[in-house]
Structure 1
């Protein structure tokens, strides 16, 4: 277990995994000390949190004001909003976003199972003491064990794990074809039963057309009408061959944030993910199995150099899927 009094010692024992962006020459002249806010993407690998020797890779992202974001260069934009490594063999990776306190991460067990250990930024004795968890398997067959109850998850099946769960572990059926458990977590205020959601049982919606290059299938896994979720909403969208646009026409929803994880994308291809205020758009170049944090004030849509799929997850004041503020194409800048 880790207590709040352990935080400074634990976090300072972590080793930086990548160098933060170098300030421009002008910034160095006007302010010799690098600004703290330019270090949001610092990735730390922390010491073992329990007797099993499991490791967590922790990244913490602060919130940014839109008036600042419109002045960001490419490196700063990527450091604040792009999560470049979700799946690392034999590791649990977690990114703590200060937008609605959403946690995004991945667990990729190899020969040994991985445990969801206590997480210092939440300040709680165990990970789900005040949280709920959504899991979708994007890899080979695997198993999630929740307080002794085992759930087998083949590819593209999902699991909702309720508030108060003390022990969560992840295992692959075949280490040569490991499971890739994509994780999202949000604060919760009441307990709800764990629930397995099969891909074929998810609420399915077909949208778009070939003429507008956005023919796609949406599967809603964790929704208020399918689970006892508090605020976490989670699903998947897959584009048909020949279709490349997602979430277009785009929208914002000021009452909640959203995170996208792009997958099923060939290594040679990329998705141009558009973000920012509707009249101040920016873009990120996103590769396979990378995620994007979308603030409540930002649009979120994308265009790929081929078709792809993505997992979306939301948290905030409203769990209704249709709660959004449209941003018509003719108003975008």
Structure 2
């Protein structure tokens, strides 16, 4: 890519091959290759996996820190979480234009590439397009709280990956895990699944493991990934004694817990993305408790969807926005 028709950049980890022209400077930083222009503008060709913390000498009270760029180029296919890292580090500020590059066969269509870029608050220019800094169309819309997204789908449909993808551009994310703690000795399959999810998440995301999802949603600010509604319901059904028919008022108690969750979802001030299971499209559960779980989760999904700005269906790794 070429800057101002005077400077060519080939890699975020490679210095400019020739001395930059008068008025320009180019230097390798922990965040990538930075170019300062003759007009004082700052461009960063971001390094995948850039650090998520500001430099030690950064002034938190400076409205335009010296490490903040005016335009940042990010290979969002190789490392989309770099956008979130740079926002967290202060390299990407409110006025920084983020440009998504790297679209190729790793993303199935230009439309999907542009959709992902919008989720992260980035532009997706076409090949050969000339961009001015700041671009005339900046900033693009990006979800902020309060904003609720329900991602549903069957087993291994890609719903958790889609939910995680939506929050990769956020500087602060709270991961609300409602399933049981993994125990490799007791359930190796579940432990492996949890490990896979943890490995996908950026290291600066915080994790809270609790079945008390309503309290977390009520108090949260910023961005929250709630994974998942189905495991939450299974734990609450057990707490209420519904699985084993231990309490005569079990369904009444469960209804109260469900109402609390829906109210917290409705009133949350955060940007929340929740994962849930689509359980009504398969075989009829062979047990009474399985049928209860299916029915309660189906009704809960409807209640959450009614209070959501967006509902997304994941199927075979593709996503469809539901009207």
Q: TM-score, normalised by structure 1?
A: 0.26
Pair member with larger Rg: 2
Relative to its length, the structure with more helix (as a share) is 2
Relative to its length, the structure with more strand (as a share) is 1
